[in-house]
Structure 1
Amino acid sequence: MTKYDTLKFSKSKGIGTLTINRPKNMNALNMQVLRELNIILEDIGKDEAVQVLIVTGSGEKAFVAGADINEMKDKNASEGREFSTFGNKVFSKLENLRQPSIAAVNGFALGGGCELAMACDVRIGAENAKFGQPEVGLGIIPGFGGTQRLSRIVGLSKAKELIYTAKTVNAEEAFNMNLLNKITESSNLMAEARLMAQSIIKQAPLAIEASKIAINHGYEMDLSHALEMEAELFGGLFATADQKEGMTAFTEKIKAVFNRQ
């Protein structure tokens, strides 16, 4: 795999761990980080050895504290638009990654950091996790999907409140508004993320992949078309070894063993 200056990646027993690695800058997102994310996500999507991806930040203070303001402040309108467009492309690549993704939020997830976490399928937060979209205080709006994903996760009115006020919320508040799936002690964060990843890995991989497609794409459709897509995906799985193994094991009261290749 390519060598990266701002990212660290490791994999073990089906779990890939992707770390934003700019701790001196609180893992702020600049163009180099985004370019490297764009490349590595392409590689991860093709890697059959990675069944679940965990995304986290380096150090104990921040998951990602936002985009790099020093890099952004002198951009003109055209450059700002290009920056947002590219960031959205990268985060959409994460959102639509073949593998399920878990954000292990170890501190501040502000601006682009909150948006990065929301592009993951599931979010687990340490007790010190903090979320927010503070962009309006900088004279801009969330530009990496925050105006869209936040409202889909927490609801329209709450998203407007958080974005309009630039409010930062703690882990408990984030959990109560469905922005976090789970809160855990900081020292236990990665263990909890790996435990959830392992519970996913035990399931049929093609069914997990089809479920992600159905949920992500169906959410944007009207119900009748979404149900048609669900039926198509459901039916297609009956032509797979995963379905034969899973249902045969169930009827024979033995543990299913799914092929990971």
Structure 2
Amino acid sequence: MDYENIYIEEENNIATITINRPKKLNALNKRTIEELHVAFKELEDDREIKVIIITGSGEKAFVAGADISEFAEFSVEQGRELAAKGQQTLFDLVDNLSTPVIAAVNGFALGGGLELAMACHFRVASTNAKMGLPEVSLGVIPGYGGTQRLPQLIGKGRAMELIMTAGMVNAEKALEYGLVNHVVSLEELLPFCLKIASRISNNSTVAIKYAIKAVNAGFKYDTDGYATEIDAFGTCFGTEDFKEGTTAFLEKRKADFPGS
């Protein structure tokens, strides 16, 4: 796929996806969601890529929301289809991706932008970041998983207040709430994320894949997270990464994981 609204940089087993619609503050339109879907799938299938970072171009916005002009005239059924397809195509895909995804939140992450950041496995924000779900100010609710993931991250009461007021929180408040893991200067944002990604990439990609699956299972109403953990733990014993990891530990050397 020829990308129009994103670009990808790869170095040292780490891929950085940049959403590049600066005139629209990197707002998510249909084309951008499709491009991100393809990019995440291709990077997940690339055995050389061990971590993915996603960010927005420029200094003003990670993603300032969805492109409202695309759905302002939608019917009820079109609205349902928009949410269902978007969740399946991008947001649930990212949440369940076997390759770790870090959101480098630079500037505004509003509406669909915050929903995308929350779908990532964790988030790092720049000091100028502002986050919120302002959908009720437009007469609609978050439709890309925001009503589900925000309470999981910051608690029901805080999520209810943030959604119902259509308010925003700054980076420090987001850190206090647990919405982001770290806050750094804008200049340090990508280097900091790359440093974390490098640490992740030293570990077993197979074990990380199962860890993501087990953690996510604990947030699904129809899944027993403990049973998923037990099964994933046992499965790890049959992998080459487990053999290499335990052998390297006993031999007091650094593991060289084959990723299988």
Aligned to 1:259: 258
Identity %: 46
Q: Given the two structures, how large is their TM-score scaled by the length of structure 1?
A: 0.95
Aligned to 2:151: 151
> Would you say the 8 A contact 2:240–2:259 is kept in 1?
no
> Would you say the 8 A contact 2:125–2:171 is kept in 1?
yes
Equivalent position amino acid for 1:84 in 2: A
Spell out the pairing of 1:82-231 with structure 2 (5 A cutoff).
82-89=81-88, 90-220=90-220, 225-231=224-230
Q: How many angstroms apart in 2 are the aligned matches of 1:141 and 1:218?
A: 25
Runs of 4+, deviation exceeding 3 Å: none
RMSD: 1.4
Spell out the pairing of 1:238-253 with structure 2 (5 A cutoff).
238-253=237-252
Indicate the larger mover: 41-50 or 53-62: 41-50
Spell out the pairing of 1:2-81 with structure 2 (5 A cutoff).
2-81=1-80
CA drift of 1:219 comes to: 2.6
CA drift of 1:38 comes to: 2.0
Equivalent position amino acid for 2:154 in 1: V
Q: How many angstroms apart in 2 are the aligned matches of 1:6 and 1:222?
A: 36
CA drift of 1:142 comes to: 0.5
Q: How many angstroms apart in 2 are the aligned matches of 1:16 and 1:205?
A: 15
Q: Given the two structures, how large is their TM-score scaled by the length of structure 2?
A: 0.96
CA drift of 1:72 comes to: 2.2
Question: Closer, same or farther in 2 for the Cα pair 1:247/1:40, shift >3 Å?
Answer: same
The number of residue pairs the alignment matches comes to 259
> Would you say the 8 A contact 2:154–2:177 is kept in 1?
yes
CA drift of 1:3 comes to: 1.5
Indicate the larger mover: 32-41 or 193-202: 32-41
Equivalent position amino acid for 1:238 in 2: F
Indicate the larger mover: 179-188 or 225-234: 225-234
Deviations 1:136-184 (A, max 9, x none): 0011100111001001111111110000001100000000000000000
CA drift of 1:226 comes to: 2.2
CA drift of 1:228 comes to: 2.1
Deviations 1:75-122 (A, max 9, x none): 222222221112111110111111010000010000000000000001
Indicate the larger mover: 249-258 or 168-177: 249-258
